[in-house]
Structure 1
Amino acid sequence: MSLKGEKIACFGDSTTWGDNGIGTGGNQISWTTQIKPLVKASEVTNLGVKGSRMGIKADRTDSFVERWQRGIDLSGDVIVVFGGVNDFERAVPLGKMGSEDPHTFYGAVNTLVTGIVGRYPEAQVVFLTPCKSGGVVRKGLPPFYQKNEVGEYEEAYADTVLEVCAHYAVPTIDLFRTSGISPLIPEQQKLYMPDGLHYSCAGYGRLAHRIAAGLNALTYFED
């Protein structure tokens, strides 16, 4: 029972795209590239878009929901959905459990969970909570322990992913609490998070190992 030979589709934002915050990132350093040999997958598709939020806001048209609505191809044996940090940083309203309004975070996650599982009912879908953000002061982006412009902490967005996925029995990996990388520890931030928000090659490698362990624990295939 392993991921050997399986295809993995990774739907995400800059943390999937491979942004390191200093202009030298890309798919070549992303966790999506580094996870492939760890799990021996036959194919890992990087569907990350820098700055993408799960929820819809008027200033952009590349949210997870809008990309989903435009028919993005997530074909794979495993579909990994990793987002939420930009919803926190850019103050997407949280909303309430049960909402179907994709302009709220609850509504967006609900739309994505039901839509992706509905379109790919045989795939093994796993959602990841956003990692703790150290914020980027020069861009006005708050760290996880400060409230955003709608009065929410990042933890609320992570908990929304967990709550909605639990409602639909969709597996999750809680990177907000267990990524193994802390922006509060200067030595780790310097090594793994150059700008406090995005990851270095070593940081993405550390995430790749954590995500690989989670996927191996949560997915199942016949050998």
Structure 2
Amino acid sequence: MMKHTILKRLACFVLVSVMLLPLLASCTEKLEENQIALAWHQGVITSGSHKTPNALMDGEELYSYSDVIHLEKAGTKLTFRDDNSDGMPDTERAGKDVYVISHWVEKNGEWVLESAGDHYTGSDNLDWRLESFGGDGVGYTYVSTYDNEYIRLCYRSGQTADNTRKFPFAKVYVTATDEPGTLTRIPAEQKAVELRRTVANAAATANSDFYDKGLEGLTVYCLGDSYFDDPAVGFNWADILAAKYGMTLKNYGVSGSTIANNTTIQSAGGMQPGATKGTNPMCLRIAAKMPQNGKPDIILFDGGRNDFSKEIPMGTTESMDESTFRGAINSCIAQLKERYPDALIIGITCWSVTRTRSIDGLTQREFGQAMIEQCAYNGIPCIDQIDEDFTDVHMDQAWFRERYCKSPTDISHLNAAGQIRYFPKMEKVVSEMYAAYLSSKS
């Protein structure tokens, strides 16, 4: 009996030992200098040009992707090599449809591809080369630009379900350096990435207690002036809205543009052809620039400030005269309704500013009020930005401009802090207007 028990225990010990051998072998494998221990998985991380874009496709054969790697300090250099020699499982390398190096963020306990981050494909088209060729293979080198970057690696390894157990994965090496980060070598790209990250952070933190699932995944068009097109700031509240809800945003704003098309402007001395004429008029841009077959869910239509300052005549409520402000608004709304019959069109007024023009004594607030009236006349909602109780935007106040405008004398343009501060108000009003629109259609 005792002999039988001993034999049984010995058999169990042998079985467990055999099962643990692969694990023990991997644990005791000696790492080379600067090599890091890293787990690889069968699958691919796709780029935006893949038929399934920007995704981690777990289990996809011929590719391998790594666990998330934490690069704690800026200037950390990471290198790895895709061996394409004849003796390897695969002699090809990753192309433009694969992110060889990608940035990740943790959300709700899961790692997700950072939408705002910098990612690099196997055949990169940037001004510098991520790859270095030598022998039968390609080496990849990346240097972190910031502290605490989280990345994954992916390459064409040749891994399949049949060969995984004995697979020779790429070795990864990490060293601390004083080298400039990969991203800093391309200033324009670095600026774009930092801008996207600012927007993404605002989307995640501004008004975090409010969320409307009904806004998820919508397509939004913007038609307007510098309220939507301000290169100096680089983003506006609509960009934050799109980032928060995964919207497709198409921005057709043009800085300095008028709604009306008027090449002969009034002045104190009479009519002056070409004097301070309207520029890039929106009433013409709809047909010229906006897609005929687009399918927007919402169209944000703003204007008025430039029509006021460029002395565009006010016009009358029922007019379709595009040389006047009211007539051009009517024309724009009619064109948008015809082109995009299923979209909610939302008008947006100019800011409340105490300005009176000498030509006819009209004020900027009157142009804002005219936008509200013309939207009502055409049966669409309008966001009243001349109502400071709603906006909490005070362009007449020096303290406000100092904090939230591009300069202390700027009465039109919110800076980055101003856009982030203003976003929650616009998020809620767009949410309310879209819900009312859907209700009216049901």
Q: Give the TM-score normalised by the residue count of structure 2.
A: 0.44
1:212 counterpart residue number: 427
Cα distance between partner residues in 1 of 2:400 and 2:289: 38
Cα distance between partner residues in 2 of 1:60 and 1:89: 10
Cα distance between partner residues in 1 of 2:339 and 2:371: 19
Conservation of the 8 A alpha-carbon contact between 2:278 and 2:307: no
1:179–1:75 distance in 2 versus 1, CA, 3 Å: farther
Conservation of the 8 A alpha-carbon contact between 1:12 and 1:64: yes
1:5 is aligned, of 217, 242, 256, to 217
Map 1:38-77; keep pairs closer than 5 Å.
38=244, 40-58=245-263, 59-73=277-291, 75-77=295-297
Displacement of 1:47: 1.5
Conservation of the 8 A alpha-carbon contact between 2:258 and 2:279: no
Q: Does 1:99 align with 2:304?
A: no
**Which is greater in Rg?**
2
Q: Please state whether the residue corresponding to 1:182 is helix, strand or coil.
A: coil
1:6–1:188 distance in 2 versus 1, CA, 3 Å: same
1:157 is aligned, of 357, 367, 373, to 367
Q: Does 1:176 align with 2:372?
A: no
Count, aligned residues: 205
- Which amino acid letter does the alignment assign opposite residue 325 of structure 2? F
Cα distance between partner residues in 2 of 1:187 and 1:218: 32
Structure 1 residue runs of 5 or longer lacking an equivalent are 134-143
1:148–1:43 distance in 2 versus 1, CA, 3 Å: farther
1:69–1:42 distance in 2 versus 1, CA, 3 Å: closer
Q: What CA deviation, in whole Å up to 9, does each residue of 1:128-177 have, x standing for no partner?
A: 111124xxxxxxxxxx3423533211122111111111122201111121
Q: What CA deviation, in whole Å up to 9, does each residue of 1:75-109 have, x standing for no partner?
A: 41111101111111111110111111010001000
Conservation of the 8 A alpha-carbon contact between 2:278 and 2:312: no
Conservation of the 8 A alpha-carbon contact between 1:11 and 1:46: yes
1:43–1:98 distance in 2 versus 1, CA, 3 Å: same
Displacement of 1:190: 0.8
Cα distance between partner residues in 2 of 1:159 and 1:75: 30
Q: What CA deviation, in whole Å up to 9, does each residue of 1:48-95 have, x standing for no partner?
A: 101000011223551101112325236411111011111111111101
Structure 2 residue runs of 5 or longer lacking an equivalent are 1-212, 264-276
Q: Identity over the aligned pairs, expressed in percent?
A: 24
Which structure is richer in relative contact order (CA contacts within 8 A, separation 6 or more)?
1
User: Which has the larger displacement, 83-92 or 188-197?
Assistant: 188-197
Cα distance between partner residues in 1 of 2:385 and 2:278: 26
1:140 counterpart residue number: none
Compare the two structures and name the one with the higher strand fraction: 2
Conservation of the 8 A alpha-carbon contact between 1:91 and 1:148: no
1:115 counterpart residue number: 335
Q: Give the TM-score normalised by the residue count of structure 1.
A: 0.84
Displacement of 1:2: 1.8
Compare the two structures and name the one with the higher helix fraction: 1
Cα distance between partner residues in 1 of 2:383 and 2:335: 19
Map 1:132-147; keep pairs closer than 5 Å.
132-133=352-353, 144-147=354-357
